[in-house]
Structure 1
């Protein structure tokens, strides 16, 4: 609903929605908890930034793999969303993660960049990389997404 008129808000494409979200960030409770934020979205790509901390450590005193997996899934999904018209949603149906080096809180700001590889009528695939500000790779992954009318 449009706050001013009370009429239904005009439908937005996935890219329009994400660009609005970036400009008026109000992340989910999970995004706030994980200290992650969508910072860029263009046709077929989306980028998150995140700031890991010791609160995400596993018993081995390094960042839990689920932290990286969540960032990858978020970037993958938002990359897919940039390619969707109004009225079409998506859901992750497969996620593959490769961890290539341990992740500690002292790495500082992380960037996770997702890119669409295939945009089909009912299924999309995408890949993502999780890197630090120097471009050092910590994890990469791919996903398959079902797309459907909402």
Structure 2
């Protein structure tokens, strides 16, 4: 069973640059879960949150709502894509040393089943596939409460020192 959404209690904002420089990527991600680091403001808007963090893997949760429907009455693909992009990027983030960041080079998403508000809470697991000195790749999956795959995705990320 999935946990209730922590949406009302989100600490949102922008991370302090000194915190980013002095923490590993995994520490930063865990800090969001623990509440001592702010979640990005879009997390509240998109109703996504980090549920679990370990090196090379993160689990996000999301609750689609009527506010993110497309004209056909389904949850907009951009919602699922944002959830995957967040999980994939954060999985890469967990592998980064202090003072290092990344930018996405590309993201690919495949929609397998429709998502509706009735789908309820979903989970998205992002896992690093490879981590080189400058390039990392990750893959992810969005599942419903029964484990049915709703969407899959991959990303490539460019790793660089913060501020460059």
Can you list the C-alpha shifts for 1:56-94, whole angstroms capped at 9, x where unaligned?
000000000000000000000000001000011011111
Gap regions ≥5 residues in structure 2: 1-17
Can you list the C-alpha shifts for 1:94-147, whole angstroms capped at 9, x where unaligned?
101000011101011110000000000000000000001211110001000000
Secondary structure (helix, strand or coil) at the match of 2:86 reads: helix
Query: Cα distance, 1:22 vs. partner?
Result: 0.6
- The residue number in structure 1 matching 2:56 is 44
Secondary structure (helix, strand or coil) at the match of 1:20 reads: helix
Query: 8, 24, 45: which one pairs with 1:13?
Result: 24
Query: Cα distance, 1:21 vs. partner?
Result: 1.1
TM-score for both structures, normalised by structure 2? 0.84
Secondary structure (helix, strand or coil) at the match of 1:60 reads: coil
| Equivalent-residue separation in structure 2 for 1:71 and 1:145 (angstroms) | 16
Query: Cα distance, 1:27 vs. partner?
Result: 2.3
TM-score for both structures, normalised by structure 1? 0.92
Query: 87, 92, 110: which one pairs with 1:80?
Result: 92
Bigger drift between 26-35 and 50-59 goes to 26-35
* RMSD of aligned residue pairs (Cα, Å): 1.2
| Equivalent-residue separation in structure 1 for 2:155 and 2:79 (angstroms) | 16
| Equivalent-residue separation in structure 2 for 1:29 and 1:126 (angstroms) | 24
Aligned residues: 143
Q: Which has the larger radius of gyration?
A: 1
Query: 129, 139, 143: which one pairs with 2:155?
Result: 143
Query: 120, 125, 149: which one pairs with 1:113?
Result: 125
Secondary structure (helix, strand or coil) at the match of 1:75 reads: helix
| Equivalent-residue separation in structure 1 for 2:70 and 2:132 (angstroms) | 38
Query: 67, 70, 76: which one pairs with 2:82?
Result: 70
| Equivalent-residue separation in structure 2 for 1:77 and 1:66 (angstroms) | 16
